[in-house]
Amino acid sequence: MAGVIDQEPLPDLVDLAGRRTLVTGGGKGIGRAITTRLVEAGALVTIADFDPAAADAAREIGATFAACDITDPGQLTRAIETACGDDGTLDILVNNAGIFPTTGSMTEATDEFVHTMLDVNVRAQYSAAREAAKRMVSGACIINMASIAALGGGANISAYSASKAAVVALTRAFANELGPRGIRVNAIAPGVIDTPGVQAEMEALKRGGLDIDAVIAANPLRTAGQPDHVARAALFLACGLSSFVNGHVLVVDGGSRA
């Protein structure tokens, strides 16, 4: 039967040695945790980030840094080329960079705000996946960052929910298009994760009617997720353990949507 695979030893399945990787927004929070895990698995990771402090993070982790505003096509392409190295190929793209907003009521969100949200969270992810796919061969993979907000919406985060729902749709479409080339495309949909971004927005979210503490209390595990929880999911999707997983949205939320 076609598709029979060798019974590889477990260490080989999680070994990413020499795999050229780009993680957008990899300087802090979830992105930094993902970069750390992929480097530990042997991947050659480049962090693409607009924050100069990400250069220090890259050095600490053992990654390469590429200054990059993902909404700038030229900077994004250069970051991908940096990650590719001399052979011009990319093995793993983690489309992590994005913005987490506090929109307030949908009647208050401006067109400019919605445009920015879609430009960063959808258009830039599309561009990164497109440019990465041009440089990928069979065995490569793309991991997009969605959110549980894409699956159930949420009051006062309408533009964010819409942007992440688009990421889910793109993931499934890309998986169908790139699958015949042996390139897998999956997404992660985190729940509430304790990151600097969420902490910074905590009070504003509550004022907008989204009580993060109540969301955590409703979680069967009664805890907020940590960046490394998402990083472990990314490592699974990047390595050989998930070789037959394609077009999937992996929810990492402690069971809050169970």
Q: Who's near 108: CB < 8 A, 6+ residues apart?
A: none
Phi/psi of residue 152, nearest 5 degrees: -140, 0
For residue 12 the two structure tokens come to 């080989």
Which residues lie below 8 Å from residue 86, measured CB to CB, with a gap of 6+? none
Q: Supply the residues annotated as catalytic.
A: 160
Closest CA to 141 of 37, 244, 9: 244
* DSSP code per residue over 161-229: HHHHHHHHHHHHHHHHHHGGGT-EEEEEEE-SB--HHHHHHHHHHHHTT--HHHHHHTSTT-S-B-HHH
What CA–CA distance (Å, rounded) separates 92 from 171?
15
**Helix locations, the chain, DSSP H:** 10-13, 29-40, 53-61, 73-84, 111-118, 124-133, 149-152, 158-178, 196-207, 212-217, 227-238
